[in-house]
Amino acid sequence: METTSHTASPQNGRTSLGRQVATAQQIKDTLTILGMNVLLVFGILFGIGIPGLILYGLRWKLTRGGATPTRAIVLWALTTVHEVLCVALFFSTDMQAELHEWATYLGWGYALGVLISLVGVVEAATNSSSLAESLPQ
C-alpha cells in the first residue's frame, strides 16, 4: 500500500517552510496595517502605501503555496527591498520627530519584516535550486 504525503511538492514551488514564512510575513503586515490606522490612509492618498499593499496582496499566493519558485524569489526580493526602505523611512530623523515612539515601533516592525523576507528569499532560492537539481537531464 502506497502512502501519500499531505505536504506540498517542491516541484510546484511549495514547501511547508515557505508557506510558514509567508504566513509569518502576512501576520506581521496585517498587524502593521491595523496599527497604522490613519497613517495608512495618508500613505495611500500620497501613494507611499500602495506598493506595500500590492506586495501584501501578491504574497497571499505564497501562503497558499501556489507560486512558482521564480515568482517566490521575485516576490521575496521585492518584499525585502520594500521592508528595507520602510526601515530607513521610519528610522529617519524627520519621521522620528513627527511620529515619535510610533515611528520607532514601525521601524522595528519593518526590521523584523526584513529578517522574515530574507528567510523567504533563502528558502525560495534553496527550493528553486533543489528543484533544478531534481529535473532530469
Structure confidence by residue, pLDDT tens digits, 64-117: 988 888 999 999 999 999 999 999 999 999 989 988 888 899 999 999 999 999
Residue at 10 is within a domain: no
Residue at 136 is within a domain: no
Looking at the structure of the chain, the number of domains it has is 1
Residue at 86 is within a domain: yes
Residue at 92 is within a domain: yes
Q: How far apart are CA 57 and CA 82, in angstroms?
A: 14
Residue at 88 is within a domain: yes
Q: How far apart are CA 41 and CA 125, in angstroms?
A: 35
Residue at 134 is within a domain: no
pTM of the model: 0.79
Residue at 15 is within a domain: no
